[in-house]
Structure 1
Amino acid sequence: MIIFPIVIIVSITMYIYYKVAILRNNDELEQVYINSKSRIFLGIFISFFGINQYLYYQTMVALSIAIIFLFLGLLQIYSGYKRARHYGNERKKRIEP
């Protein structure tokens, strides 16, 4: 299962990229929008990390931890998606006269 480590590495890399992008931007609306996109990648990282750990160990403890990680990751993805959609619309309103 080489796909899980690849997704984990890409998602944590994108999370760090967006967190650094927040520091380089001075516009508050843009910072909140970028932060919402970083939350999506954090959720992907947490979810896939939990699944990967269960597939590696395959015990009841790993299953319970994987379920918790999957739940928390899905909450992060959902929250980040809703915020990105909202603030993306706000950015469009600001750009369009």
Structure 2
Amino acid sequence: MTIFVVSIVFYLYFKVRILNHKNPLYMHYTNGKARIALGVFIASFGINAYGFYQTQFALFVCILFLILGGAQIVHGYKVFKHYRGEIIRLQEAGDLD
């Protein structure tokens, strides 16, 4: 239950932080972190649904949510990692504020 709340709060926090950034690199970087938080929320929701109902249908939903959550986490991590490298590279070159 705590993972639900923490992950959805992080998701909303990162989505709101995107509005504060004017630089598209920071926007994509923050969006990657938001996707990771969303993936954790979806995966934990699926696990909780199976733990609560423990039926065959709940198992199907759990597996589906784990796949969708895992896909969000993997994609978010790739976006986060890529744009983190770009931001570091531009900061070292002095081209980024």
With normalisation by structure 2, the TM-score equals 0.94
Q: Percent identity?
A: 46
2:75 is aligned to 79
Q: Unaligned stretches of 5+ in structure 2?
A: none
Q: Unaligned stretches of 5+ in structure 1?
A: none
One-letter identity of the residue aligned with 1:19: K
Aligned residues: 93
Distance 2:28 2:76 in 1: 10
Distance 2:90 2:34 in 1: 22
RMSD: 0.5
With normalisation by structure 1, the TM-score equals 0.94
Match of 2:14 among 13, 18, 26: 18
Q: 1:16-63 CA distances to partner (integer Å, 9 max, x unpaired)? A: 000000011111110000001100000000000000010000001110
Where do 4+ consecutive residues of structure 1 move more than 4 Å? none
